[in-house]
Amino acid sequence: MGKELFGTDGIRGVAGEYPLDRATVFAFGVALAGDVLRAHHGAEVLIGADTRESGEWISATAAGGLESRGVRVRYAGVITTPGVAWLTRGGPFAAGVMISASHNPYRDNGLKVFSRSGFKLPDAEEHSIEQEIFRLREQGLQPLPARLAADGALAGQYLEYLLSTCAARLDGLRLVVDCGNGASYRLAPELFARLGAEVRTLCAAPDGRNINLNCGALHIEPLRQAVVEGRADLGVAFDGDADRAIFVSATGREVNGDGVLLASARALKAAGRLAGDLVVSTVMANLGLEKALEREGIRMVRTPVGDKYVLEEMVRLGAVLGGEQSGHVIFRDYATTGDGMLTALRVMETARRAGATLDELLHGLEIYPQRLVNVRVRVKKELTTVPAVADEIRRVEKAFGGAGRVLVRFSGTEPLARVMVEGPDLERVEGFSQSIAEAIRREMGE
């Protein structure tokens, strides 16, 4: 069952342009209202947003669609994506909607929906909402935005929950926090300061257009410099909606989701809390992580890229820990989605309890060189049907002899083939990635 509007992370696009034009956003609200009212009479839906300048009108327009069908709306204002998921799960809400495009530039935005369980909607339900959106658009529905007033108490409830999960104080910890001018800009500094950390904050002055702009989880150089020059113990950077976190150790080492999964898995196993002695990650997880976990007697299961797929597999297997190299880490004992601030608390708590630095928590982790090459293609074909490409992939895999990995996949949103090669020797990795990319370019390129 194909979907046209919903991707792995909701509906996303340029704010003001289809499918995030006013008519479609309003139709989304109407369609979602029909969906929730079928299961919950007198329903109430939560809406939150990050700091993009388009967040307010998109929130008001979606709310207008919901209210036009008798669904009450509570507006949290600026809050993180995991904050919306947690509030939806724990509150009186039939659904939650987050207005965000995560790590994308400010011009983009998105609509992400959580069911009352705190999980993203299943594919069949998203497909049903899509079909209703298309039907409503054909009717020429006129968008009527709602009047919204932010209820700041909602974000406060989420903050209190995060505080309640941390058994260790952070007194004396010298911490640098890069909020990416995004949704965490108020919550994160307060969270860590209330636990006793000495907090220096970067990029916590959003103006509607500077979200993720040369800062946050995708641009850690400012954080690295601040940590090293300020002799801090640790640094953490969040993306625009704070569902991911990237760390910098006191020595300036970048620690992504792979490192967090290793440190957390070790701690959970030592405490007897790592169900099944397994961790779920994606095909992009570094081979070094898999080998380090193997030495600890921990099995790693891989899924396609996307935290949605990680979570689905965690639920299927009963796993309590999973995540992505990009910094989405899911602690199922606490949350139903990746949560950057929750992840930071778990990392700091683990370090405090062990009396160790972040570098020490990662002992034995050898990161294999990994190269990703994007190739523009005119057509997306099953690679086994393109002999020259399939032969080149087999040649590289044979040359590695089990010591490396090759992954070739197509982008779900762009005309791109993504070639990832990983192995112990950088020169060979770079050469192999280019040779496979060139084979794709010859056979399928634009």
- Report the catalytic residues: 102
Instruction: Using CB atoms within 10 Å of the CB of residue 332, give its burial: 0 to 12 exposed, 13 to 18 middle, 19+ buried.
Output: middle
Nearest CA-CA partner of 388 in 444, 306, 334, 346: 444
Nearest CA-CA partner of 264 in 160, 367, 176, 334: 334
DSSP state, residue 276: G
Beta-carbon count within 10 A of 426 CB: 12
Q: Is 409 helix (H, G, I), strand (E, B) or coil?
A: strand
Question: Pairing between strand 370-376 and 245-249?
Answer: unpaired
Nearest CA-CA partner of 45 in 24, 30, 23, 55: 30
CA torsion through residues 36, 37, 41, 45, sign: positive
Q: How far is CA 11 from CA 31, 36, 95, 171, 210, in A?
A: 14, 18, 16, 41, 22
Q: Which residue has the tokens 């999973």?
A: 322
Q: How far is CA 189 from CA 96, 183, 235, 341, 418, in A?
A: 25, 12, 12, 10, 37
What is the side-by-side order of every strand in the sheet holding 299-303? 299-303, 278-282, 321-323, 329-331
CA distance 442 to 81: 42
Tell me the two tokens of residue 114: 């959580």
CA distance 250 to 282: 28
Give the DSSP H or E segment for 299.
Answer: strand 299-303
Instruction: Using CB atoms within 10 Å of the CB of residue 439, give its burial: 0 to 12 exposed, 13 to 18 middle, 19+ buried.
Output: buried
Q: Which residue has the tokens 């809050």?
A: 79
